[in-house]
Amino acid sequence: MHRHHDKPAYVSQFDHDDFQFGLEIVLGACQRGAADAGEVLVTAARIKDGDADAWVREWTATADAVEAAGRAAAAAGRRVSALAYLRRAATYLATALDQIDASHEHDGKRALWRRQRACWEEVVDLAGGERVAIPYADTTMPGYLFRAPDAGTGEARPLVVVNNGSDGATSQMWVQGGAAASERGYHWMTFDGPGQQALLFEQGVPFRPDWEAVLGPVLDAMVTRPDVDADRIAVIGISQGGFWIPRALAFEHRFAAAVADPGVVDVSTSWLEPLPKSLRKQLDEGKQEQFDRNMRIGERFSRSATALLTFRGEPYGLHDDSRFHLYETVMGYRLGDEVAQIATPLLITEPEGEQFWPGQSQQLFDRVPGEKELVRFTAAEGAGRHCEPMAPALRDARVFDWLDRYLAPQG
């Protein structure tokens, strides 16, 4: 599987697009103290372009030093330094995980994830966050609530829910909206839903398309809290969350406002477009045996394609080797006529050079009936590409200036 290669307007460190995009995400995290530019650049300089083993090794090595310093600071009672170190360590470990399926270290994936998670849990404690267990089906989803720094004990404030996408670390939700909510005097929270992070790695609960069944329980848990203004709760959907949020809004009408970053109407296009026409035809015609055989042949010649399918396919929870079943499942992640029921004000971001779902932000905007806005981000302003990785300050300003209309006190 190959992705769109829209080169950014600045000099790239890597020709391998997944490496370059991963680097852009870490550099963007510097804006919120979740990375340090010097650490990022010296680590990237040690990595040979396209070498997944080097990627995992070097980001882990940087994380080793930063995490050790964080643990030492915590032991010495230096909370501010410990928080800063461990926030960065969580980012670097999450970055190492990006390429672990393509490396020879893939058997260590869960152990590395658990280490990343331990850094995040420590960050939550050091930052004064609260763990929330959200009842879901026959289990619970782990949630993390952070109260506005200037809020009095028990004071009700608006709440921003930051909804993760397909594979980002929970810790990254601080960069993707949590920090911006906090500095504007809002409470914020994030959670691991089906197929995401802890629910995937510890419980084996896969994705589901009908996200209202996920956000409903999250809202149920939040609206009953005395410190949450139940009439002013917003949700930001990140990456594949740009599909799940509109889907949920068609059935869940309690949010005051919502953001899709970016808009996604059909998750499967990023899977289907790289396929040769002959393979797409076999999918359409239900020729499972032929499709699986041809995919097996193709993957024999491309280890990176196998790694990418393994990485992206894991959260869908299929336990057979059939690529046909995997593609068939992903094709169920499409918005239909239900979008006509969306009544929540919706902001949709449209970054130039969107490499996964190009054109779909505009498609979603055109299909949503009610109050809506499309906000464009350009390559020339350094804000292109999926989820505007290198422009978090610009993204936060535009997104939250819009959200403030629905969350800020009136009068």
* Domain harbouring 27, CATH code: 1.20.1440.110
From the list 130, 342, 341, 134, the residue with the least C-alpha distance to 223 is 134
Exposure string over 66-93, b if 16+ CB within 10 A, otherwise e: bbebbbebbeeeeeebbbbbbbbbbbbb
Is residue 3 one of the residues assigned to a domain? no
Q: What residues are paired with 214 via a beta bridge?
A: none
Are 288 and 211 members of one domain? no
Is residue 83 one of the residues assigned to a domain? yes
Is residue 6 one of the residues assigned to a domain? no
Cα-to-chain-centroid distance, residue 207: 13
Q: What residues are paired with 258 via a beta bridge?
A: 235, 346
Is residue 8 one of the residues assigned to a domain? no
The last residue of one of the domains, among 330, 350, 370, is 330
Please give the residue range of the domain that contains residue 70.
Answer: 15-128
Could you tell me which residues come within 8 angstroms of residue 151 by beta carbon, excluding any fewer than 6 positions away? Answer: 157, 185, 187, 227
What is the predicted pLDDT for the residue at 11?
Answer: 81
Are 281 and 384 members of one domain? no
* Class of residue 156 by CB neighbours under 10 A (exposed 0-12, middle 13-18, buried 19+): middle
Are 98 and 167 members of one domain? no
Are 249 and 290 members of one domain? no
Is residue 166 one of the residues assigned to a domain? yes
Q: What single string gives the DSSP state of each residue in 251-273? A: T----SEEEEES--SBTTHHHHT
Are 134 and 222 members of one domain? yes
Residue 17: half-sphere exposure toward Cβ, Cα within 13 Å: 16
Is residue 383 one of the residues assigned to a domain? yes
Are 205 and 141 members of one domain? yes
Are 285 and 298 members of one domain? yes
**Number of structural domains the chain divides into:** 3
What is the predicted pLDDT for the residue at 1?
Answer: 42
The answer to whether 19 touches 47, Cβ cutoff 8 Å, is yes
The last residue of one of the domains, among 308, 330, 352, is 330
pLDDT in tens, 120-173: 999 999 999 999 999 999 999 999 999 999 999 989 999 999 999 999 999 999
- The pairing of strands 187-191 and 139-146 is antiparallel
Are 305 and 353 members of one domain? no
* Domain harbouring 362, CATH code: 3.40.50.1820
Are 188 and 257 members of one domain? yes
| Spans of the chain, pLDDT less than 70 | 1-9, 410-411
The last residue of one of the domains, among 306, 330, 354, is 330
Is residue 285 one of the residues assigned to a domain? yes
Are 148 and 159 members of one domain? yes
